[in-house]
Structure 1
Amino acid sequence: MPAIFAHRGANKSSCANKNLPENTMAAFAAAIEVGADGIELDVQLTRDGRIVVCHDETVDRVSDGHGLVIDHTFEELARLNFAATFSDQEPARIPLLDDVLALLAPTELSLNIELKNSVIRYDQLEERVVDAVNAHQMADRTVLSSFNHRSLVHLAQIAPGIRRGVLYSNDLADPWDYASRIGVQAVHPSGLLLRGRDDVGRFHAAGLSVRVWTLDEPDQIREAAALGVDAVITNDPAGARAALS
């Protein structure tokens, strides 16, 4: 059975019929509560160099603020409500990566940190993330991923002991060869790229783990499991577990 990773936390729940604001401490705590095997989240840097958890380069969609993450200090971001679009939720502060690492350290959950450095090439993001992971002694339970594949090569140079996964959403020719060549240990493809193909076996033959995103429908989850993927990244970890039971 594949591992279940909560995409931006357990932000959806078909079982409890309750949604939570993504990439918030409430969503991460819910992922632990429903028995997810791991958490997936996104990191960026503030103007004053703090590592915050946010998917978009701007805060407009998920908060009551406006503008780029990089244009705000952490203190400024901390005054915003990242549950503003949820009328039934308590206000939520943007988490620091340190907050989530501290939450997960006493558990057995794994962590997939996606570095959001494809649009904005944050200076020193890789080094800062590696330092945070090591400070919380989470290196053996963490995988670092990015759509910026040069960033993954850089991570291999500065932190060879932390696993890396190549994110991609477009068809690559012989992606198992490409992933091996850039020195990652896993591939994180969009679910659509695996359907009707025997790619998972080829990845495994190359020594690569396969974590597929982002699957929420039970039939999609069962199909991915039948293909032999190592992990399913989903917004609804409780529903995914139910689909596989």
Structure 2
Amino acid sequence: MPSPNNEFQLILGHRGFRGHLENTLPAFKRALRYADGIEFDVRLTGDGRLVVIHEGEFRADGRSYRVDKLTYRELMRLHPLGKLVPTLNQVLELSLKVMNADVKDPNALSLLIGELERKNFLGRTVISTDDLSIAMSAIKECPDCRVGFSITCAPNLGLSLRQLRGIYSIHVPLDLVRYVGTRGLRALLRLYRKKGLQVWLWNYRMNEPSLVPKFIHLADAVISDDPARLKRFISSRRTEVEATLYVGKE
């Protein structure tokens, strides 16, 4: 899944743009002005609708509600974002070249694969998860699917490469540098690449412009909290490189 512009690694908007409107159509549409594609979270409502939302539980009016116990109508009425909570089909109606669908609910997996297949989106989608059992289920159910595994905690980092057999991409958080250092993270990314895994970096409250240049040569994609800022930064670096390459040439 190469970058459409074939110049830089893929840039995907993390939930579109991280913030109050993340995982909504406005955030996705804004992200697509700068990024190659988007990353979003998928869950299943109580009435069997695939919805794009990160948290499985939320509070409203002093009470806690679970997404998988609500109908879609109830979710729109009760959730703080209201009618901005999109269905998967609404997201698929966007002009998407690349998608990363992060499965948060194992019950959503089969429906997600079926919907992507019906709409001919499997070839442009990475289905990711931080749950190894969901990842293995996806590989078993859809051998042709691109399945990604996200490192979100220490046990995920400790998985052997044998356990990751069949995985297409490994999604590595930038904040891992806090624990293993720059040299350690580079070594880890090189190991994943050596074993044939695509490396997708993703951000969690880190300064992308300061960190991404240190690792981007070892990554195939960056899932960015602010794709506009990252795109501007990468473009400015490209201009600097071109100026260096062509200075003094006729």
Count of aligned positions: 218
Find 2:89's aligned residue among 92, 98, 103. Answer: 98
**Contact 1:144/1:164 (8 A) holds in 2:** yes
Higher helix share: 2
**Which of 166-175 and 233-242 deviates more?**
166-175
Please name the residue that 1:242 is paired with: 232
Conserved 8 A contact 2:175-2:203: no
Matches of 2:71 and 2:51, distance apart in 1:
10
The 8 Å contact of residues 58 and 79 in structure 2, kept in 1 or not, is answered as: no
Question: Which deviates more from structure 2 when the two are superposed, residues 190-199 or residues 43-52?
Answer: 190-199
Shift of 1:203: 1.4
Q: Who is 1:219 aligned against?
A: 210
- Name stretches of at least 5 consecutive residues in structure 2 with no aligned partner: 1-7, 236-250
RMSD: 2.3
Instruction: Tell me by how many angstroms 1:100 deviates.
Output: 0.6
Deviation at 1:47, TM superposition (A): 0.6
Q: Give the superposition deviation at 1:92.
A: 4.5
Identity %: 29
1:82 and 1:92 in contact (8 A); partners too: no
Rounded Cα–Cα distance in structure 2 between residues aligned with 1:81 and 1:150: 29
TM score, norm. by length of structure 1: 0.80
Q: What TM-score, normalized by structure 2, do the two folds share?
A: 0.79
Worse-matched range after superposition: 195-204 or 165-174? 165-174
- Does residue 118 of structure 2 align to residue 135 of structure 1? yes
Q: Say whether 1:200 aligns with 2:189.
A: yes
Q: Aligned residue for 1:25?
A: 25
| Shift, 1:148, TM fit | 1.1
Shift of 1:98: 1.0
Matched residue of 2:57: which SS?
Answer: coil
**1:95–1:114 CA distance, 2 compared to 1 (3 A):** same
Tell whether the 8 Å contact from 1:11 to 1:21 is kept in structure 2 after alignment: yes
Alpha-carbon displacement from aligned partner over 1:143-198 (angstroms, at most 9, x marks no partner):
0111111111111111111100111133434754432x3x1111012223363231
Q: Say whether 1:178 aligns with 2:177.
A: no
Identify the residue that residue 188 of structure 1 maps to in structure 2.
171
Deviation per residue, 1:111-165 (Å, 9 max, x gap): 1011113xxxx43x21100011112211000001111111111111111111001
Q: Which residue of 2 aligns with 1:2?
A: 9
Structure 1 unaligned blocks of 5 or more: 13-19, 84-90
Structure 1 residue matching 2:175: 3-state secondary structure: helix
Q: Secondary structure at the match of 2:41?
A: strand
Select 1:111's aligned residue among 90, 99, 120: 99
CA contact (8 A) 1:41 1:53 kept: yes
| 1:82/1:234 CA distance change after superposition, 3 Å | farther
Secondary structure of 2:84 counterpart: coil
Give, in whole Å, the separation in 2 of the partners of 1:148 and 1:114: 10
